[in-house]
Structure 1
Amino acid sequence: MGENEKQTKSRVLCALLVTAMFQFFFSSAKQIQSITKMQTQSPKRIGSSFIFPVQGDVYPNGFFYTSVNIGNPPKTYYLDIDTGSDLTWVQCAVPGAKLHKAPHNPYKPNNNVVSCKDPLCASVHHPPDHPCRSPSDQCDYEVGYADHGSSLGVLVRDYFTFNVAANRQINLTFGCGYDQEFSDPSTPSVDGVFGLANGKSSILWQLQSLRLTRNVIGHCFSRQGKGVLFFGDGLIPPGIVWTPMKTNELNQYLSGPVDLLLGEQTLVAKSLYIAFDSGSTYTYLNSQAYRDTLSKIMLELKTKPLKPVKDGSLPVCWKGAGPFRSIEAVTNYFSPLALRFTINNAPFSFALPPENYLIVTSNGNVCLGILNGAEINLGNLNIIGDISMSDKVVVYDNERRMIGWASSNCDT
């Protein structure tokens, strides 16, 4: 979510708190082309996999979203795709609700509130042994995000329709949010959040528990504003590089340690642990790694025809002799970055060419899409956001506890 109204819209939906309240580069283009050709205006199930068409961008909107159909009859809601948090929620129409402007009318519950005794209720509470005075008490939730946004509401259960034509409906639990806070009031261009981290409250976990799909998720976000999200292992393209997933209490897709390189040879930072988070627009490094990265980039730019400028979009920007019209116009001025993993004693890289860490703003300036995690209290956590995952297939295999990636054209 954006830093202020004049700045580039961005958000970090990495979940920080859920509390109880009761009252490289292998080509997979052909595989992804076959997936995206199957996209329609609604998600579909193919074999044991579910496919969702994706829209959005890093700049200027700052998020990628998909449409989900909920209720009977089904109604469409746009949800921000977030692999950094578990709970899916939509804005909810209840008396006294604090709602924000959204693309669709808020969801209306219909005597379908989840009880505090429901096993899924414990999954949205830390610690899970929450008090429950009576089985008739509802299951309330509160989730806070790293950018200081939040959602307060109650768990409900309703039908999700994954293929409108076939009327395939599945009864799932999600959040009915009646009090939302956003760090930037202008940000909400969606109806809620599609929480896809590896917690029991996630929609993916619920589908897997019903034996409808494997506990695997993948996405391919295009810089051109399209993409695809899929559940299940039936659509994983060949050539994926895999690295182990680290267990953590927030169910984030965490991996490491990795080294950060500039120009494939210059070591910038060592032994970083990183979370792959589609709910974050930009990439965040811990304070020391951020300072070292910025210092190395600035050193390289001393001989380039670029000058620092205050753009109002991101903290660090440069201008050229004239306005830049595309990211391609500036890539020759910047060296590629790379995250180097050691897998089975062999080095593999998650490539970050300039287009995966820079944006060109409407002012014609180029800005650094790597931010200081200390500004949002991330501590030593490093986040790989949408900007760095664009035009890559990224797969989270929760059953094998592996994270994988491959370069791809996600727009075709």
Structure 2
Amino acid sequence: MFTVLLLFSLLLTTSTSHNIISYPHFQQLNVKQILTETKLNPTNTYKHLQHQKLNIATEASSPAKYKLKLVHRDKVPTFNTSHDHRTRFNARMQRDTKRVAALRRHLAAGKPTYAEEAFGSDVVSGMEQGSGEYFVRIGVGSPPRNQYVVIDSGSDIIWVQCEPCTQCYHQSDPVFNPADSSSYAGVSCASTVCSHVDNAGCHEGRCRYEVSYGDGSYTKGTLALETLTFGRTLIRNVAIGCGHHNQGMFVGAAGLLGLGSGPMSFVGQLGGQAGGTFSYCLVSRGIQSSGLLQFGREAVPVGAAWVPLIHNPRAQSFYYVGLSGLGVGGLRVPISEDVFKLSELGDGGVVMDTGTAVTRLPTAAYEAFRDAFIAQTTNLPRASGVSIFDTCYDLFGFVSVRVPTVSFYFSGGPILTLPARNFLIPVDDVGSFCFAFAPSSSGLSIIGNIQQEGIEISVDGANGFVGFGPNVC
């Protein structure tokens, strides 16, 4: 796990008819520390992770256990060398807007998408490296070639750019060459694996795949079975896309590791090896921190509070949760629970997504939530809106400020109270902070990765639950 430097705590409580919900109504936001982080060069963290060696020794059935690091793209500035936080922020918001638009189009179309041991990978931030926000470093092939791939809880396919590359974008590592791997095997058109791929094609007896991400990004190529290496764990015969035609906002990463709930995702393919369970802890924007991605039931934190997953037949890849309300400063905001419900037709609902940065809420809910926050921050000097944010503050010269708590009320009782830095974020390096939520013109709500940072989150797809760990990580 990585260290999160916080002067406040994350509290997750479950309410019952006999208990009074009790947690602090205000927190301290360490303005000085956060602004210091925005000015630091992320290259040192990137170099440290780039030079880490993968320990390749065991099969998935081995007793060895390994945790892998997650890295935010801000830490991998290979192709965007700007150290100006405002520039990075603007680029992130532009990517985020495209991501949300693509999700809405996908959901509106209603197209379906795709005795264990724990193992995992370090997760790195991918902000300067494409549309994905978080990267993990894995080995592809035999012998393994180290590659950064984007993790995406809203996608199913696993793919990497491959030689011969008719159309490829620039990535951090050399492009994977199947000819150099002894474990590479093309998938036949008649195979069951090929039948699981949407819009699968056939060329010279080999299964072809094509995935479009809605923002102009796409990957096309050959489906293959290959060995993937996660730390000391080898996973054989994983179906991956070998992309020979690729374009879009994935610049820097070699490809994508889909963590959705469909059969072609990495989680779906693991099946019994991981019990359909994985956990992650997304890196904070703190410059020296790294996150965690781990697979298997042993990755589940002790004392986690569990929220049922909600199945949407129109969007089988996505993880929907029941949200009943929002809170500010210990007070529940008067919003109808119906605003967050998934309709019988598959509209609306609340999706947890690692690929979206900023939490989106239906406009009526957002405005009530925002107004409640404004009413409890009259002591803070206001600033003009920035990008998609309409509620901002000028905290120049402050060392720390007192802010009200912000909470998610989940169906069934659990309450997730966010760390202050997960909802009041810097948009430049001189003291402008904004309330990190945005309105949505549709009925869809998305819990983004900014709000998930530093919280250990477990997904138990087999049993239909998502869990929130009791402590920051």
* TM class, shorter-length: 0.7 to 0.9
SS at match of 1:269: coil
Unaligned runs of 5+ in 1: 21-45
Give the aligned partner of residue 79 of structure 1: 149
In the superposition, relative to structure 1, how do residues 258 and 177 fare at CA in structure 2: closer, same or farther (>3 Å)? farther
Report matched runs for 1:85-164 at 5 Å. 85-97=155-167, 99-110=168-179, 112-125=185-198, 136-145=205-214, 149-163=217-231
In the superposition, relative to structure 1, how do residues 240 and 58 fare at CA in structure 2: closer, same or farther (>3 Å)? farther
Give the aligned partner of residue 457 of structure 2: 394
Offset of 1:397 from its aligned partner? 0.5
Distance 1:319 1:335 in 2: 14
Give the aligned partner of residue 199 of structure 1: 262
- Residue 288 (str. 1) matches residue 354 (str. 2): no
Q: Confirm or deny: 8 A CA contact 2:323 2:408 kept in the other structure.
A: no
- Residue 300 (str. 1) matches residue 414 (str. 2): no
SS at match of 2:297: coil
| Residue number among 281, 293, 299 corresponding to 1:235 in the alignment | 299
In structure 1, give the amino acid aligned to 2:426. Answer: V
Offset of 1:290 from its aligned partner? 2.4
Offset of 1:56 from its aligned partner? 2.2
Instruction: Write the deviation string for residues 82-136 of structure 1: whole angstroms up to 9, x where unpaired.
Output: 1111112222333421x2222112223447433332222333317xxx7x67881
Offset of 1:373 from its aligned partner? 3.2
Instruction: Write the deviation string for residues 37-87 of structure 1: whole angstroms up to 9, x where unpaired.
Output: xxxxxxxxx961112122228899982221010012111111122111111
| TM-score normalised according to structure 2 size | 0.67
Unaligned runs of 5+ in 2: 1-72, 75-85, 341-348
SS at match of 1:160: strand
Give the aligned partner of residue 12 of structure 2: none
Larger deviation, residues 218-227 vs 70-79: 218-227
Distance 1:4 1:255 in 2: 33
Q: Confirm or deny: 8 A CA contact 2:280 2:456 kept in the other structure.
A: yes
In the superposition, relative to structure 1, how do residues 405 and 257 fare at CA in structure 2: closer, same or farther (>3 Å)? same
- Structure 1's consecutive aligned runs of 4 or more residues displaced over 4 angstroms after TM superposition are 1-6, 17-20, 57-62, 132-135
Give the aligned partner of residue 309 of structure 1: 384
Q: Which protein is richer in helix relative to its size?
A: 2
Report matched runs for 1:1-400 at 5 Å. 7-9=90-92, 10-11=95-96, 12=99, 16=106, 48-56=117-125, 63-97=133-167, 99-110=168-179, 112-125=185-198, 136-145=205-214, 149-163=217-231, 168-182=234-248, 188-208=251-271, 211-223=272-284, 224=286, 225-248=289-312, 249-250=314-315, 251-271=317-337, 272=340, 273-301=349-377, 303-311=378-386, 314-316=388-390, 318-320=392-394, 322=396, 329-330=400-401, 332=402, 334-343=403-412, 347-364=413-430, 365-374=432-441, 379-400=442-463
In the superposition, relative to structure 1, how do residues 178 and 7 fare at CA in structure 2: closer, same or farther (>3 Å)? farther
In structure 2, give the amino acid aligned to 1:51. Answer: G
Q: Confirm or deny: 8 A CA contact 1:245 1:255 kept in the other structure.
A: yes
SS at match of 1:139: strand
Q: Confirm or deny: 8 A CA contact 1:82 1:195 kept in the other structure.
A: yes
Offset of 1:358 from its aligned partner? 2.2
Q: Confirm or deny: 8 A CA contact 1:277 1:383 kept in the other structure.
A: yes
Offset of 1:270 from its aligned partner? 3.1
In the superposition, relative to structure 1, how do residues 169 and 236 fare at CA in structure 2: closer, same or farther (>3 Å)? closer
Q: Confirm or deny: 8 A CA contact 2:423 2:450 kept in the other structure.
A: yes
Instruction: Write the deviation string for residues 231-280 of structure 1: whole angstroms up to 9, x where unpaired.
Output: 11012121111111111232211111421222231325332132111122
In structure 2, give the amino acid aligned to 1:274. Answer: V
Give the aligned partner of residue 37 of structure 2: none
Q: Confirm or deny: 8 A CA contact 1:80 1:279 kept in the other structure.
A: no
Offset of 1:399 from its aligned partner? 1.2
What percent of counterpart residues are identical? 21
Instruction: Write the deviation string for residues 115-169 of structure 1: whole angstroms up to 9, x where unpaired.
Output: 332222333317xxx7x67881422222325x664434432221112345x7x35
SS at match of 1:292: helix
Offset of 1:380 from its aligned partner? 1.7
Instruction: Write the deviation string for residues 178-219 of structure 1: whole angstroms up to 9, x where unpaired.
Output: 44444xx5x7342222110111001122122xx432110111
Q: Confirm or deny: 8 A CA contact 2:366 2:438 kept in the other structure.
A: yes
Distance 1:199 1:256 in 2: 20
Q: Confirm or deny: 8 A CA contact 1:59 1:359 kept in the other structure.
A: no
Distance 2:120 2:274 in 1: 12
In structure 1, give the amino acid aligned to 2:383. Answer: P
In structure 2, give the amino acid aligned to 1:304. Answer: N
In the superposition, relative to structure 1, how do residues 70 and 307 fare at CA in structure 2: closer, same or farther (>3 Å)? same
Offset of 1:393 from its aligned partner? 1.1
